[in-house]
Amino acid sequence: MTKWFSFVKNVWLWIAIAIVLVLWSWLVFLWNARYSEEFTSWVTISVQWDYSSDEQRASIENFLKENEYNDARVYVDFDGEVTTVKIQTKMNDDSQVSELSTNFKQYLIDQNIIEDEESITQQKVTWPSVWSYMKKTTVRALIIGLIFIVIYLLISFATIRNYISPASLWLIVLITMVFDISLPVWAYGIWMALSETIQIDTIFIIALLTIMWYCINDTIVIFDRIRENLTTKKSSKDMIYGEVFEKSIRDSLQRSIATSISTLLVVICMFIFGTWVIKTFSFTIWIWVIFGTFASIFLAAPIAYLLSWKYNKEKGKF
């Protein structure tokens, strides 16, 4: 075994790096967060209106502030004949959205932009209840998935429960999962800062859920190798846990890197040649592929070794 570098001996270094990266990633993401129609309240109205100046946009913004919609964002699109105004704001219930829609239509009439509501060619409203339903569904799916993972770990890793608790492995799965989604979240936050068209939408959420389950699979693969090596060595009285965990990481290293590279090539092609929806999904995935290997190699097994309570006893023996 190579002596000049050890994965498990440097576990506290990897944990420190992970904490800094996670905190920085979520700070950047939340600072630049911009939600799509599915996750906020929207009022979209299209009218026969010759929109021609930013003064009209400023007038709409002033109207919203006067009506205490201080966090509202206004998007105006004019195609030469029809002007579409989209107002995005955070609301707590559907009645507030209805009130905004009614007030804005009255504003258009008062400003002589339209004669009556029949001049509106299209109207679309996104209610807070839509996001509430999606949030509940996502959380429910995540909880059910984690319960099945707990059951799998308790059954599959019962043979090594004398060396490390399956419950500890489940905790490590959660830790690596948080890290794995943090770096794509950071990259997406940077993308939102660079382009106003990039928003947090359902495709982004689907990509994060995909990353969660893939990273769980990658982490469990290393745990399986640890289980195999512990089972092989369990009859040896002079077994050094650190050597077993280190060997398990190195046994999985080539496989993890090869899998990551092959996946990376596919998602980069999807990003280059795919439609805009595919680009959003593939961008999030390939950022995870680049950084996700860190969690499975540098965090999962070293933290498992730390939780075996052998670190202080053995750190000078291998």
Q: Which domains does the chain have, with CATH numbers?
A: 11-36+130-314 (1.20.1640.10), 40-127 (3.30.70.260)
pLDDT band at residue 318, thresholds of 50, 70 and 90? low
- Per-residue pLDDT, 20: 94
Sign of the dihedral through C-alpha 39, 40, 43, 46 = negative
Give the range among 47-56, 163-172, 289-298 with minimum mean pLDDT: 47-56
Share above pLDDT 90 across residues of the chain, in percent, rounded to a whole number: 5
Residues 6+ apart with CB under 8 A from 274: 282
CA distance 94 to 72: 16
3-state secondary structure of 73: strand
Q: Decide which of 141 and 204 is more confident.
A: 204
Residue 4 above 60 pLDDT?
A: no
Q: Distance between CA 187 and CA 159 in Å, rounded?
A: 40
Q: What residues have CB less than 8 Å from 214, skipping those under 6 apart? A: 288, 292
Helix (H, G, I), strand (E, B) or coil at 121: strand
For the cut 90, the answer to whether the pLDDT of residue 206 exceeds it is no
Q: pLDDT higher for 284 or 239?
A: 284
User: Average pLDDT of 132-149?
Assistant: 75
- Give the count of beta carbons closer than 10 Å to the beta carbon of residue 314: 17
Q: pLDDT class for 176, splitting at 50, 70, 90?
A: confident
pLDDT at residue 33 greater than cutoff 80: yes
Q: How confident is the model at residue 1 (pLDDT cuts 50, 70, 90)?
A: very low
- pLDDT at res. 140: 81
Mean pLDDT computed over 111-122: 71
pLDDT band of residue 49 (cuts 50, 70, 90) is low
Q: What is the dihedral of CA 285, 272, 38, 116, to 10 degrees?
A: 170
d(CA 29, CA 229): 40
The closest of 139, 178, 188, 157 to 36, measured between CA atoms, is 188
Instruction: Supply φ then ψ for residue 74, to 5 degrees.
Output: -115, 130
Q: What is the pLDDT of residue 22?
A: 92
Angle between helices 54-66 and 94-110 (to 10 degrees): 130
Q: CB-based contacts of 169: which residues, under 8 Å, 6+ apart?
A: 153, 157, 223, 304
Q: Residues 18-28: pLDDT tens digits?
A: 999 999 999 99
Q: Is the dihedral of CA 156, 159, 160, 162 positive or negative?
A: positive
Statement: residue 114 has pLDDT above 60? yes
Q: What sections of 33-127 are H helices per DSSP?
A: 54-66, 94-110
Alpha helix stretches (DSSP H) within the chain: 11-32, 54-66, 94-110, 128-156, 166-194, 202-233, 241-273, 276-294, 301-307, 311-314
Beta bridge partners of 45: 85, 123
DSSP 8-state class, residue 93: S
Question: Greater confidence, 213 or 190?
Answer: 190
